[in-house]
Amino acid sequence: MKRTLSKVIYNRGISPSYHLLGLRWEGRIDPGQFFMLRPWSFDRFDPLLNRPFGVYRVFEGGIEILYKVVGRGTRIMTGLKEGDEVILIGPLGRGFPFMEGWEEVSIVSGGVGIAPFYHLIQWIREKGSFPALSLYHGGRGEEDLVGIEEFERAGVTVNIATERGTRGYRGLISDLFKRDLEKGKVRPSAVLSCGPKGMLKEVALICRERGIPCYVSLDRMMGCGIGTCLGCVVRTKGGYQRVCMEGPVFESEEIVWEEL
């Protein structure tokens, strides 16, 4: 069954707003898939709904979720303690594609949008596949640059942009990525992206102009995560599609960006 009662292994802050949550889980997960998590008891109805989370890392007997405190739900989540029981549903949805022929892959992420990519790298390495990998990660400042070292250790070329200019390129990560494409510093066979809506749109446009296949992971408010409520739909060229079932990863050309 894809619905389990999981136990919290650890829950710790790694920066003022970013936290890592370790949960008991066993099974196969495709990179880019997500879980619905109820970070509070079933009997607590405010907040009412479960929350979707990507998988940051998979380890023996568990998964690790990287989350950022952005609202009431995630604030309550920081109170989870070792041994707490939580409803965990998943893995759900369709993750990132990975094609054997890809020689170079660029990842563009913003803020907590970095979350699904560490697992993707883990997975690519375990497959014994070694395309050239570059990460373009952006944030407001230093606080949004968590986990970067792990990507470096995994042999990924890391490029940073911060809006406040505290580290790396000063400005938007999509601008840095575009500049590097123009300079020929990267020549990706495909681009994978996750982060704020504005960044995704920009990345999709950059890829469209150059004919580079681009896959984006969308983050939407979800009612159920399992395809029943139809609350998380996005407009695609083929009509409304559920982010939880047909996504969360879509080919960027499928999305009707003006309506996102």
Partner 1 sequence: MGGTVDLSVDIGGMRLRNPVMTASGTCGYGEELAPYMDLRRLGAIVVKGLSLKPRPGNPPPRMTEVPSGLINSIGLQNIGVEAFVRDKLPSLMDLGVPVIANIFGEDVEEYCLLARRLDGSGVAAIELNISCPNVKKGGMEFGRIPEEAHDLVREVRRATGLPIITKLSPNVRDIKEMAMAVEEAGTDAISLINTIPAMAIDVERRRPRLSSIIGGLSGPAIRPIAVRMVWEAYQAVKVPIIGVGGIMGASDALEFVIAGACAVQIGTATFIDPAVCEKVLKGIEEYMDRHGIRRFVDLIGSLEVS
Chain position carrying tokens 């936290």:
19
Asked if residue 209 lies in contact with residue 238, where contact means CB atoms within 8 angstroms, the answer is no
Q: State yes or no: residue 221 binds partner 1 (CB under 8 A).
A: yes
Q: State yes or no: residue 42 binds partner 1 (CB under 8 A).
A: yes
Burial class of residue 82 in the structure, from the number of CB atoms within 10 Å of its CB (0-12 exposed, 13-18 middle, 19+ buried): exposed
Nearer to partner 1, 126 or 258 (CB): 258
Query: How far is CA 45 from each of CA 21, 27, 35, 225, 227, rounded to the nearest angstrom?
Result: 22, 29, 20, 17, 21
Residue 76 has, within 13 A of its CA and on its CB side, a CA count of: 14
Q: State yes or no: residue 238 binds partner 1 (CB under 8 A).
A: no
- Binding residues among 74-133 for partner 1 as defined by CB under 8 A: 87, 89
Give dist(CA 240, CA 233) in Å, integer.
Answer: 6
Contact residue for partner 1 among 50, 106, 159, 236 (CB under 8 A): 50
Give dist(CA 78, CA 12) in Å, integer.
Answer: 8
Q: State yes or no: residue 47 binds partner 1 (CB under 8 A).
A: yes
Nearer to partner 1, 30 or 175 (CB): 30
Q: State yes or no: residue 239 binds partner 1 (CB under 8 A).
A: yes
Q: State yes or no: residue 38 binds partner 1 (CB under 8 A).
A: yes
Nearer to partner 1, 100 or 259 (CB): 259
Asked if residue 85 lies in contact with residue 7, where contact means CB atoms within 8 angstroms, the answer is yes
Nearer to partner 1, 161 or 255 (CB): 255
Contact residue for partner 1 among 226, 236, 247, 249 (CB under 8 A): 226
- How many positions of this chain bind partner 1 (CB under 8 A)? 31
Q: How many CB atoms lie within 10 A of CB 62?
A: 18
Q: State yes or no: residue 1 binds partner 1 (CB under 8 A).
A: yes
With CA atoms as reference, report the closest residue to 145 among 132, 155, 156, 135: 135
Applying CB under 8 A, which part among 115-123, 165-173, 176-184, 219-227 lies near partner 1? 219-227
Q: State yes or no: residue 23 binds partner 1 (CB under 8 A).
A: no
Q: State yes or no: residue 46 binds partner 1 (CB under 8 A).
A: yes
Q: Going by DSSP bridges, is the β-strand pair 157-162/132-139 parallel, antiparallel, or unpaired?
A: parallel
Nearer to partner 1, 52 or 147 (CB): 52
Per CB under 8 A, residues contacting partner 1 are 1-3, 38, 42-43, 45-50, 87, 89, 220-221, 223-224, 226-235, 239-240, 259
